[in-house]
Structure 1
Amino acid sequence: MSKIILAIDSSIDCCSVAVYKNKYIYSLSEKCKKKHTSQILPMIQETLLKANTEFKKLDYISFAKGPGNFTSIRIAASIAQSLSFSLKIPLISISTLAIMAEKAWRKYKQKQILVLINAKKTEVYWGQYIRNKESIWIGEHTESLMKKKIIIEKINNLKKKWTLVGNESQLIQVKNFLHINNTKIFSPNAKDIIPFALLTIKNKKLFSLEENSINYLYDKF
């Protein structure tokens, strides 16, 4: 019998929920500007209803751990941690930037992804992800909080062609750069957490409490 997984994301201005059941993903996504708290719980209930399941039948909880908006990330993390504790089921956290790379693969079948999420007026969260032959995303070690003025220099120093994705409106300014193959503006989606959760479960590499903590990046550049 296949495991039932609940996935939650509230990293930036959108909320999304997904339930994996019987090899099918039921999902819901909505814009949640400053309304994450009031919207996410009804969305979870609605998605569980769509999947014809309930909390007590869940086997795993997974959530987007950031980087992203400080307050909204904490909402998803708090809900996921509370459900994990009360239901006594494992918790799996996944990088928001990795989730966006997976979305780029799902929608556009791109394997080399640059991810940018707006952080502050002068900074963005940056990640470089490559999907290897085993369909595993490599790149969490590249994640950093970066000054916007350095982005162009970083892109100019890249090799090969990359697809650039993110919620940053400034992406349009670099879409014609030498090493940028394509530019897509979108938000993360909880349904793209599911492949990571399934791989984690398959490999029996469930995370410790520390590894499930929120991903606060610091400035490396």
Structure 2
Amino acid sequence: MSDIILAIDTSIDCCSVAIYKKKTIYSLSENCKKEHTIKILPMIQKVLINAKITLKDLNYVAFAKGPGKFTGIRISIGVAQSLSLSLKIPIFGISTLSILAEKAWRKYKKKKILVAMNAKIGQVYWGAYIRNSVLLWTGEETESLIKINEIEDKIKKFQKNWILIGNGWEKIKWKKSLKLEKKEVLYPNAKDIIPFCLLKIKNQEFLHFTKISNNYLDNLF
């Protein structure tokens, strides 16, 4: 049987789960705000049923490692780490901002993505992502927690072909920059974790459950 991957995301208000099996992705997504703990396990069970597999069939598990809400990230880490340990399978942690970039690519086929996601008052999580010729995203090194007024200065240097995604742009005065375009991508989805996992599997970049890390940028929530 081909590799089977379970991906989960509880990093912000949406809770989503996806399974990759034989080049098919089965997924569920729900806006649940503070009910991640209640929703995540039943959603995993439902996707397993849809994919006609059990937990024992999984070969890999992946999670959105943030940035995002502290509690949500801890839920993703806890569930993924427990599965990795009990099933003795590798684990992957993927940046939430890069997952948003991948979702924008899936929906709009754009390769230059500016991500801004709501943080605490007056600040957003920021990242600038570029998709290269081997379908790999670069930009995780640009991720930061940044003041809104600093972003308004920062975006002045970006040329055309960059698009804006994430719920943080609702707070930012970006319309003066006529070269930029905002797209309707507000929340990540676990199905967009899958391409990162496939690339890591191909490159044999496996992690043990003891080596996972989060990406809080700042403990805000």
TM-score for the superposition, normalised by structure 2: 0.94
Which residue identity is paired with 2:150?
A: I
Which residue identity is paired with 2:136?
A: I
Cα root mean square deviation, aligned: 1.7
Tell me: CA distance 1:211–1:115, structure 2 relative to 1, closer, same or farther (3 Å).
farther
Alignment pair present for 1:90 and 2:90: yes
Give the structure 1 partner of residue 106 of structure 2. Answer: 106
CA displacement 1:92-141 (0-9 Å, x = unmatched): 11000000000000000010001111110111100000000111101001
Retained in 2: the 8 A contact 1:7–1:61? yes
Which residue identity is paired with 2:144?
A: S
Alignment pair present for 1:168 and 2:161: no
Q: Which runs of 5+ in 2 are unaligned?
A: none
1:121-160 paired onto structure 2 within 5 Å: 121-160=121-160
Alignment pair present for 1:120 and 2:120: yes
Retained in 2: the 8 A contact 1:156–1:179? no
Retained in 2: the 8 A contact 1:26–1:47? yes
Secondary structure, counterpart of 1:174 in structure 2: coil
CA displacement 1:53-106 (0-9 Å, x = unmatched): 110110000000000011111101100000000110000110000000000000
Give the structure 1 partner of residue 6 of structure 2. Answer: 6
Retained in 1: the 8 A contact 2:64–2:94? yes
Retained in 2: the 8 A contact 1:175–1:183? no
Which residue identity is paired with 2:27?
A: S
Secondary structure, counterpart of 2:183 in structure 1: strand
Secondary structure, counterpart of 1:74 in structure 2: helix
Tell me: CA distance 1:37–1:30, structure 2 relative to 1, closer, same or farther (3 Å).
same
1:173-188 paired onto structure 2 within 5 Å: 173-175=173-175, 177-188=177-188
For residues 190 and 202 of structure 1, the distance between their equivalents in structure 2, rounded to whole angstroms, comes to: 19
Secondary structure, counterpart of 1:197 in structure 2: helix
Give the deviation of 1:185 after TM superposition.
Answer: 3.8
Retained in 1: the 8 A contact 2:116–2:169? no
TM-score for the superposition, normalised by structure 1: 0.94
Retained in 2: the 8 A contact 1:164–1:171? no
Give the deviation of 1:43 after TM superposition.
Answer: 0.5
Give the structure 1 partner of residue 52 of structure 2. Answer: 52
Give the deviation of 1:183 after TM superposition.
Answer: 3.0
Give the deviation of 1:158 after TM superposition.
Answer: 2.0
For residues 92 and 29 of structure 1, the distance between their equivalents in structure 2, rounded to whole angstroms, comes to: 20
Retained in 2: the 8 A contact 1:129–1:138? yes
Retained in 1: the 8 A contact 2:152–2:173? no
For residues 184 and 68 of structure 1, the distance between their equivalents in structure 2, rounded to whole angstroms, comes to: 19
Tell me: CA distance 1:83–1:189, structure 2 relative to 1, closer, same or farther (3 Å).
same
Which residue identity is paired with 1:102?
A: E
The count of residues paired between Structure 1 and Structure 2 equals 219
For residues 192 and 183 of structure 1, the distance between their equivalents in structure 2, rounded to whole angstroms, comes to: 17
Q: Which runs of 5+ in 1 are unaligned?
A: none
Secondary structure, counterpart of 2:215 in structure 1: coil
